[in-house]
Amino acid sequence: MTSPSFAFVPRNISKGGKQQGTSAHVPSPESSHSLKLIQTPAIERKSAYPGPSGSDKGKQKVPEPPAKPVYNEKDISILVVLAFSDYALWLDSDLRRKTEESFQGEEQDAGFLPLSYLMRRAFGRENLGQDYMPTEANAVKAIRTYASDVLEVRMLVSAPSASVWYPSWKPERSSIGGYEVRRKDCTTLLDNATREFTRHQWDDRTIYMENIPAQYHTIPGIIRFAQGLLSHSSCLVPIQNVTLPPHHLDKAEDRPKCKGFALVTLSNAELCQVFLESWPWTRSFQPESDDFDLAEGNLETKEASKFGFRTLPKARWDKLNEEYLAYRQKLISELADANEPPDISPDSDVRDVVDDVLEDTPAPLGNATTMYSPYPFGCLVFARNLHLETNKTTLRALFATAFESSLVDPAGIDYVDFNKGMDSCYLRLASPEHGRVLVDRFSSHPVVQSHGLDDRGKTPEASQKAIATEIIEGKKEEVYWEKVPEKVRRQAVEKAVKALNGKQSSSVHTAHEHSEESRPRKKRNRG
């Protein structure tokens, strides 16, 4: 593979002196879904659907001041490399697809992705505000300084003609003068064994770390710390992923805060062994000696000793989680049986526990949404190949066209989960039937958006990719809804149940009409 002959763009083509910034994108559930490791352990847990109920008002965790780290260059490079890791390619179907597509174009373009795209993935889940988001220029400098053995950067000099990145419309103006990045090992990228990995294989390479020294309590910090402990390793990208377990009171959009522990996925089992053997889960405590500074090892090693750093294979961690939950349940039952008030203390968590038990919803059985369902089943659709300049209003109208020639309520789209600049979105539908009607319609009548405000769609040309829709079910569906705020989720469930009930009887509407007679009646079907 020949590297591009141009690495720098003459002034008259690039866009003036101003840096090409990336806009801060609030991560859509899609991107955070694809990046975040499924954070619930691989067990059925009854309290899998977190979130306080309305009665928990007094028990919310103390709001913390938003900690927005400003990343230094090393950390920026770490996060970009992480966003393009083998694990990221495995987990994120959008990233994988776009990477594969980049090999289908010109040879010189093979493997290149826009830096802006990678940065959205790298920093999206960090929930940074506009002020804190690094610019592309920052990232390029960071990569060139710290990750040049892993990533290659080039500047985009002209509008790509037939690039797969810009299928059906004129190229993004902002991308001219922007940068593109590819992995230096891109020739072997697609054949890499990790492509075919199962979740289990990644889990075998994942360890739980605890008592991470206080100064490393960020994702890049953890990676720096871990890399410091692996100083003898020659592996280029030893850390493939870091997941911070969420707090039980976290809302969907909350960024999990590092409390000194994390799940870290490594490139191979040997690296895991290094940690597990050097920093075992149980070891006798050696009190800090005065010779601390003379002790062997680098800074990370010393700090790790000082803080009692320890590690556990993920499989074992999963087992302990199971044990914890079972034990917790046992204690709750014990309390309930004893029928006594719990230990006398301003111990609000105990009441939380009891409330949680009452709130517990059974695992979904069958597909019918009931008032006890954790989320509305079958009401989630994923759509892609949208126009990059489109917006929510346009999309809502566009997808609602699916209901025009059908018998369902035209107001079938509950919510368009979309972020500007993305070419995909999730749709929350009012009922599973709406989902089916929508997907059927868009597959039998494929369309593209001719421009950002096209809310009717037109027949795609040969080179154009039609808008693709699919119903999301199973684990993916569960994971999506887990990130939705509890209140919103409940409303969606209620709506779906009402829709089901509405079909069976009109009693709901009768009551509604009686109580609001003065209001004009809502017509149910328009034909």
Partner 1 sequence: MPLPVHADQAVPVYGNYHGYYSKRPFIQDPRLALLPAEFFVGKRVLDVGCNEGWVTCEIGQSRGARQVVGVDIDDTLIRAAWKRRRTVWSLQSPECGHLREESCPPPKRQRVLGDAPTTDHSAHNYFPASCEHSYGSLPIPNRGCGAFPHNVTFRTVDWVKDEIPDDPNQYDIVLGFSISKWIHLNNKDEGLKEFFYRVHQCLKMGGIFVLEPQPWDTYSKARRMSETLKENAKYLQLRPDGFGELLQELGFSHGQRLGVTGKGGFRRPVDVYLKQR
E runs forming strands in 300-412: 310-313, 380-384
Q: Which of 18, 195, 306, 458 binds partner 1 (CB under 8 A)?
A: 306
468 membership: H or E segment, kind and range: strand 468-471
For 173, counting Cβ atoms within 10 Å of its Cβ (0-12 exposed, 13-18 middle, 19+ buried), the class is exposed
Residues in a beta bridge with 63: none
Stretch that binds partner 1, among 27-35, 318-326, 385-393, 463-471 (CB under 8 A): 318-326
The binder of partner 1 chosen from 191, 291, 296, 343 (CB under 8 A): 343
Which of the residues 107 through 166 are near partner 1 (CB under 8 A)?
none
Nearer to partner 1, 245 or 378 (CB): 245
Q: Cα(101)–Cα(296) distance, rounded to whole angstroms?
A: 49
> Does 372 interact with partner 1 (rule: CB under 8 A)?
no
CB of 326 to partner 1, least distance (A): 9
Q: How far apart are CA 367 and CA 147, in angstroms?
A: 48
Of the candidates 178, 245, 432, 457, which one interacts with partner 1 according to CB under 8 A? Answer: 245
Angle at the Cα of 31 (from 427 to 423), degrees rounded to 5?
A: 60
C-alpha pair distances (Å), 343 with each of 77, 354, 406: 50, 14, 60
Cα(487)–Cα(492) distance, integer angstroms:
9
Region of 99-107, 347-355, 393-401, 425-433 interacting with partner 1 (CB under 8 A)? 347-355
Smallest distance, partner 1 to C-beta of residue 36, A: 14
Stretch that binds partner 1, among 83-91, 190-198, 348-356, 420-428 (CB under 8 A): 348-356
The interface mask with partner 1, positions 198-237, x = CB under 8 A, is ----------x-xx-xx-----------------------
Note whether 327 binds partner 1 by CB under 8 A. yes
β-sheet with 310-313: strand ranges across: 239-243, 262-266, 206-210, 310-313
| Interacting residues of 369 by C-beta distance below 8 A, sequence separation 6+ | 376, 377, 378, 379, 432, 493, 496, 497, 500
459/447 Cα distance (integer angstroms) = 5
Helix (H) or strand (E) holding 417: strand 413-417
Per rule CB under 8 A, count of chain residues that contact partner 1? 51
Binding string, residues 11-50; x marks residues near partner 1 by CB under 8 A: ----------------------------------x-x---
Quote the least distance from Cβ 247 to partner 1, whole Å: 6
Confirm or reject binding of residue 359 to partner 1 (CB under 8 A): no
Taking the complex as a whole, how short is the minimal distance between the CB of residue 322 and partner 1, in angstroms?
Answer: 10
Measure the CA–CA gap between 127 and 134, rounded to whole angstroms: 12
The residues of the shown chain that bind partner 1, judged by CB under 8 A, are 45, 47, 208, 210-211, 213-214, 245-248, 259-261, 281-288, 306-308, 312, 317, 320-321, 323-325, 327-328, 331-332, 334-335, 338, 340, 342-343, 345-347, 349-350, 352-354, 356
